[in-house]
Structure 1
Amino acid sequence: MTRKLTFEQAKRLYGQRYTLDHVPNWAFKHHNGRFYAPQYASDREWYENTLFPGEDGHHGFGKDCYSSRATYPLGVWLDKPYRGRAGYVSGDDEGMPLDVREALVMSRAQDDFEFHA
């Protein structure tokens, strides 16, 4: 399938996506005492599971995108708002291989929450 938007264009145009890479302002508001969790592990995962206007299979309206197959890497609901990757990185992480640093970020984020499926 030919994409209508590049990865960078999609990130720029769709600021309401909620991933471990990107936290929109609405994610800091609680809903019935809990917080929504990120829907995708990365912006790239969101992009690969999202259709944009003009693409085959797009079921959205107007300029809306249509995302599917959310993975909810931290669970569906959180007891505290997710702070974004930067909120879980320490200065000691510099120079570590990316996969090790990612594992530390995920571990620290999971320690911060009680998970609700």
Structure 2
Amino acid sequence: MFSHMMVGSNDIDRSKTFYDALFGAVGGKPAITDEHGRLIYMHNGGIYIITKPINGEPAHHANGGTVGFAMSGPEQADAWHAAGVANGGTACENPPGVRTGGMGSLYLAYLRDLDGNKLCALHRMPA
């Protein structure tokens, strides 16, 4: 269904440090920077892009929006979350842990990046 996810940033260099650490914690490679200065991360078949808004206006996060990243297990989600917080991200929602609802038991870890974008590490727990 999705081809990629893109979020805006007001400071690409600061975002590169943050996201290189975040994706590095789960085995991802540092960003590729394209000819427009956008950061491109490719990992496990997904593409995530960070860019300055093309309209020249300041970047801001979407109220109610969340970008989710699939994790191989709770340990990987915890490493991802810890790397994000250690590199300037802000923990949000509840602490990382299992939550049960209509989609079964999920291990979730939430944080906000340096521009306020809400991110989630998700692992579907075995039934």
Whether TM exceeds 0.5 here: the answer is: no
Task: Specify which structure has the higher proportion of helix.
Answer: 1
What TM-score comes out, normalization by structure 1 length? 0.26
Q: Which has the larger radius of gyration?
A: 1
What TM-score comes out, normalization by structure 2 length? 0.24
